[in-house]
Chain A
Amino acid sequence: QKEVEQNSGPLSVPEGAIASLNCTYSDRVSQSFFWYRQYSGKSPELIMSIYSNGDKEDGRFTAQLNKASQYVSLLIRDSQPSDSATYLCAVTYGGATNKLIFGTGTLLAVQP
């Protein structure tokens, strides 16, 4: 069974702090990794993608990938109350890049 694991949270951080969200996956041949943000009652929206080991930065967001450890993370700098949402990790599996497996998500709460 191919799996994507996330801590369900809630992860509570004060406004202005760095939020660190983590994800592990079981399929060693996974090639593409995505982070989605989902506000309550809304659909998931893509915020970051990463394909190579290392860091990828986009504004306040940094995605980190370590394929040897089968680990991907998302850092949110200068967290804002508007960042409060569920963050979903998604991973391609089986070498077939058309399908994604999603983790169950981590609920982030940024306290003003």
Chain B
Amino acid sequence: NAGVTQTPKFQVLKTGQSMTLQCAQDMNHNSMYWYRQDPGMGLRLIYYSASEGTTDKGEVPNGYNVSRLNKREFSLRLESAAPSQTSVYFCASRGQGALLNSGYTFGSGTRLTVV
């Protein structure tokens, strides 16, 4: 099925552990995004990649790194997890040109708990 695929769906980490959240899209979109969603805080942009080979910080980048591996894949890495990073993480992608106004397509999310 066309869309945005995120792995894993659930993860529990201990404080200080590292992990990488994977995201891939098969819609030939240029732009990809990582958001976190916390109760009462809405969706907040962590990092984004406007095109292959470029990445930029969003609102809440501290404690995270990203890699735009190719046009399809955009990964998010937590180097040393902290309880404050407990959240639901969403990857999204967006088209360009005429597709720019089509809004984001979201993946199904990763529920991360840091204990």
Residues of A with Cβ closer than 8 Å to B?
A: 8, 32, 34, 36, 42-46, 49, 51, 88, 90, 97-105
Taking Cβ atoms with an 8 Å cutoff, the residues of B that contact A are 31, 33, 35, 40-45, 48, 50, 58, 90, 94, 100-109
Verify B101–A44 contact, CB threshold 8 A.
no
- CB B35 to nearest CB in A, in angstroms, measures 8
Query: Smallest Cβ distance from B113 to chain A, in angstroms?
Result: 15
| Inter-subunit contact B42/A44 (CB<8 Å) | no
Q: Roughly how many angstroms separate A49 CA and B101 CA in the complex, as a whole number?
A: 8
Chain B residues contacting A103 (CB-CB under 8 Å) are: 42
Shortest beta-carbon contacts, A-B, top 7: A104-B42, A102-B43, A43-B106, A46-B103, A34-B103, A102-B42, A98-B31
Q: Is the interface of A mostly helix, strand, loop or mixed?
A: strand
Cβ-closest chain A residue relative to B106 = A43
CA distance A32 to B40 in the complex (A): 24
Task: Give the distance in Å from the alpha carbon of A97 to the alpha carbon of B96 in the complex.
Answer: 10
Residues of chain A with a CB closer than 8 A to B94's CB = 98
| Complex-state Cα separation, A43 to B3, whole angstroms | 12
Contact A98 B50 (CB under 8 A): yes
Minimum Cβ distance to chain B for residue A94 (Å): 12
**Complex interface: chain B residues within 8 A of A51 (CB):** 101
Q: Which of B42, B45, B58 contacts A105 (CB 8 A)?
A: B42
In contact, A46 and B50 (Cβ under 8 angstroms): no
Q: How far is B99's CA from A97's CA once the two chains are assembled, in angstroms?
A: 12
**Residues of A with C-beta under 8 A to B105:** 46
Docked Cα-Cα span, A59 to B40, in Å, equals: 30
A-B contact pairs, 10 of them (CB 8 A): A43-B107, A44-B43, A46-B105, A49-B102, A88-B43, A90-B104, A98-B48, A99-B45, A102-B35, A104-B42
- Residues of chain B lying within 8 A (CB to CB) of residue A49: 101-103
Known: A43-B109, A104-B40. A97 touches B100 (CB 8 A): yes
**In the complex, A99 Cα to B41 Cα: how many Å?**
17
How far apart are B93's CB and chain A's nearest CB, in angstroms? 11
CA distance A98 to B93 in the complex (A): 10
Contacts of B43 on A, CB cut-off 8 Å?
Answer: 44, 88, 102
